[in-house]
Amino acid sequence: MTLFWIVLTGLLLAALLLLLTAGWRGDRQPPVDRDTLNKMFYQQRLNELEQDEAQGVIAARQPMVQELQQTLLTDIPSSSLCTPARPLSRWVLLPGALLLVVVSLGCYLKTGDLSGLIVWHQVQDDYPALRARLLDPQAQSLTPEELARLGLGLRTALQQDGSKLHDWLMLGRIGMVLNNRDTAVEAFQRALQLAPNNEEVKLSYAEVLTRSSDPQDNREAQAMLNVMQQQDPANMRLLSLIAFNAFQQQEYTQAINAWQTMLRQLPASDPRTEQVQRSIQQAKTAAGLQTSQLSLTITLADAVEKMLPPDGVMYISVSDGVSPVPVAVKKLPLSHFPLSLTLDDSNAMMPERLLSALHQVKVRVRIARDGSATPRPGDWFGESALTPFDGHQHLAVEINQQQP
């Protein structure tokens, strides 16, 4: 920072010195008036006439001299015009010098992003501490803003020494966490140049391309992953990326095969098993291969039938009996009862939580008098028992209770 201001001050002083030097020299030049110029021209012309007479070019010089004198007399300026101009004071340069300083500093402050420069220098000062926190598993996690500052400091360090593979990997991962695709891609490309056979680098680069919303990136990732699969077909991370990339490109059969390969390798107690199973069900649903559905028959108790609100709305929710958040929800206007209908994965609230992935279900049917999705006192509802679900269950629910 100090060096920058020294250079800036030096350039400004050089410009001021140039301005003052030019003005000082110009101020010292003696004024040249019209009378002086006429005399100079007259004397020069006399010398030429003498040379012409000596060479025999003219026969009589005196008439020409008289004519020249007459011309000089008629071109003598009046006294008002002969007054010599008063030279300007050297202090006139001071406003110009001040204007130069103000304009130069103003232009820099307007276009030079001084605040960004100050932040950059602050990042450079904080970079060692942020890097140490990131590498310390016991330290507090960095916030997204701190990660962005660390990424800026890391990028600056890599511009000075771009041969550090670990630092390029770190910058790429920071770009992934911050969802900065360009930073991550550039970092992993540089890492690949340093270590073209490093499996970790190739997997990280393929993951960035897989997460990208650009179909061209997805296709490039697929080509990389297919080559890597031939070399290491049992790599779990590789299989996960292949499945996700295939799902992104709507290659559902390939995605299902990759996830099923993962299931065969995962221990039964592995927490990833449930997530992989849900992903398989989701892919089957998207491919139209899912036939799981829940059949319902809804009836009303006699007391409820007499008290149905004319503008009521019926909400049907299906849960797994463990989490209070429904897996599937359906909203219907009131109609004739008994009512028969089916629910499937198209009624899922979230793509990652599908009805077909459940092993047990519990159904709740509620009639909202004012149409609100939130239960209100006085709403009538009915619930089923927690029932095992194999994909083809039929449940009957009677609406016979009132919300307290």
> Do 191 and 281 fall within a single domain?
yes
**Residue 84 lies inside a defined structural domain of this protein:** no
Mean pLDDT of 81-103: 60
Same domain, 333 and 206: no
Residue 393: half-sphere exposure toward Cβ, Cα within 13 Å: 23
Q: How far apart are CA 189 and CA 193, in angstroms?
A: 6
Between CA 275 and CA 352 the distance in angstroms is: 8
Return the SS3 of 103: helix
List, in sequence order, every residue forming a beta bridge with 396; answer none if it has no partner. 297
The Cβ of residue 2 has, within 10 Å, a number of other Cβ atoms equal to: 6
- Boundary residue ending a domain (286, 319, 343): 286
In a domain, 230, yes or no: yes
pLDDT at 357 over 50: yes
HEC states along 285-353?
HHCCCCCCCEEEEEEECHHHHCCCCCCCEEEEEEECCCCCCCCEEEEEECCCCCEEEEECHHHECECCE
Residues 139 and 254 in one domain: yes
pLDDT of residue 147: 87
Query: Does residue 113 sit within a domain?
Result: no
Output b/e per residue, 199-228; b: 16+ Cβ within 10 A. Answer: eebbbbbbbbbbbbeeeebbebbbebbeeb
Identify whether residues 274 and 316 lie together within a single domain.
no
Q: Categorize the per-residue pLDDT at 138 as very low, low, confident or very high, splitting at 50, 70 and 90.
A: confident
CATH of the domain at 270: 1.25.40.10
Residue 175: pLDDT above 50?
yes
CB 295 within 8 A of CB 347: no
Q: Where is pLDDT greater, at 317 or 8? A: 317
CA 42 to CA 44: how far, in whole Å?
Answer: 5
* DSSP label of 400: -
Q: Work out the pLDDT band at 75, boundaries 50, 70, 90.
A: low
pLDDT digits (tens, 9 = 90+) for 360-402: 999 999 998 888 888 888 889 999 999 998 888 899 999 999 8
- In this structure, is residue 15 part of a structural domain? no
Q: Which of 283, 237, 289, 245 is nearest to 262 (CA)?
A: 237
Residues 192 and 225 in one domain: yes
Instruction: Check whether residue 227 and residue 320 sit in a common domain.
Output: no
Question: Which phi-psi region, left, alpha or beta, contains residue 84 (left: φ > 0; alpha: ψ -120 to 50)?
Answer: beta
C-alpha–C-alpha distance, residues 237 and 252, integer Å = 18
Tokens 């009512």 correspond to what residue?
A: 339
Helix (H, G, I), strand (E, B) or coil at 323: coil
Predicted pLDDT at 90: 57
Residue 81: per-residue pLDDT: 47
| Number of domains making up the chain | 2
Q: Are 316 and 329 in contact (CB under 8 A)?
A: yes
Residue 251 CB neighbours (<10 A)? 18
For residue 318, tell me if it sits in a domain.
Answer: yes
Cα–Cα distance for residue pair 181/172, rounded to 1 Å: 9
Q: How far apart are CA 177 and CA 156, in angstroms?
A: 19
For residue 366, what are its two tokens?
């509620």
Assess whether 140 and 187 both reside in one domain.
yes
pLDDT at position 84 is: 53
Same domain, 319 and 298: yes
pLDDT of residue 353: 78
Residue 212 sits in the same domain as residue 176: yes
Nearest CA to 65 among 92, 40, 47, 81? Answer: 47
User: Highest-confidence range of 117-126, 148-157, 258-267, 301-310, by mean pLDDT?
Assistant: 258-267
**Dist. CA 258–CA 268, nearest whole Å:** 17
pTM reported for the whole predicted model: 0.53
Are residues 234 and 320 part of one domain? no
Residue 2 has pLDDT above 80, yes or no: no
On the question of pLDDT at 79 being above 70, the answer is no
Q: 268 Cβ partners below 8 Å, 6+ apart?
A: none
**Where is the domain boundary, 250, 265, 286?**
286
Domain shared by 342 and 210, yes or no: no
Mean pLDDT computed over 5-19: 69
CA-wise closest residue to 352 among 244, 261, 239, 258: 244
Half-sphere exposure of 378 (CA within 13 A, CB side): 8
Domain that holds residue 125: 118-286
Could you tell me if residue 353 is inside a domain? yes
User: What is residue 80's predicted lDDT score, i.e. its pLDDT?
Assistant: 45
User: What phi and psi, each to the nearest 5 degrees, are found at residue 298?
Assistant: -110, 130
Q: Is residue 195 part of a domain?
A: yes
| Domain end position, chosen among 229, 263, 286 | 286
Domain membership of residue 75 (yes or no) is: no
Q: CATH number, domain at 345?
A: 2.60.40
Average pLDDT over residues 166-172: 91
Instruction: Please report where in the chains the tokens 């012409």 appear, as a residue.
Output: 52
Asked if residue 274 and residue 173 are part of one domain, the reply reads: yes
Q: What mean pLDDT value characterizes the chain?
A: 80
CB 292 within 8 A of CB 344: yes
